[in-house]
Amino acid sequence: MITEEKVERINELARKAKTSEGLSEEEKEEQQVLRREYIDSFKANLRSQLEQIEFVEDVEEAEGRKKGDHVVEIEENLN
């Protein structure tokens, strides 16, 4: 998990890189490490969110219902 402090450091290094001073070799290495950590954290978070998605069709199949049965159930409940 990437912390707010690390994001601030990434932004600080990015701003410094745009100046005439630039980054030292140490700072360039730190920037690459922090960026990689950020990207890996982002991917892990996205992957976790995507794994939580259930498609309606898959749920219906698992419950043994046919496509569209949920519409009939809703109409019956409304009446």
**Planar angle of CA 58, 62, 65, nearest 5 degrees:** 90
Overall domain count for the chain: 1
> In this structure, what are the phi and psi dihedrals at residue 63, rounded to the nearest 5 degrees?
-90, 0
Predicted pLDDT of residue 79: 59
pTM above 0.75, yes or no: no
* Predicted local confidence at residue 72, as pLDDT: 61
Q: Which domain holds residue 12?
A: 4-78
How high is the pLDDT of residue 53? 84
pLDDT of residue 63: 72
State which residues of the chain have pLDDT below 50: none
Beta carbons of 12 and 34 less than 8 angstroms apart: no
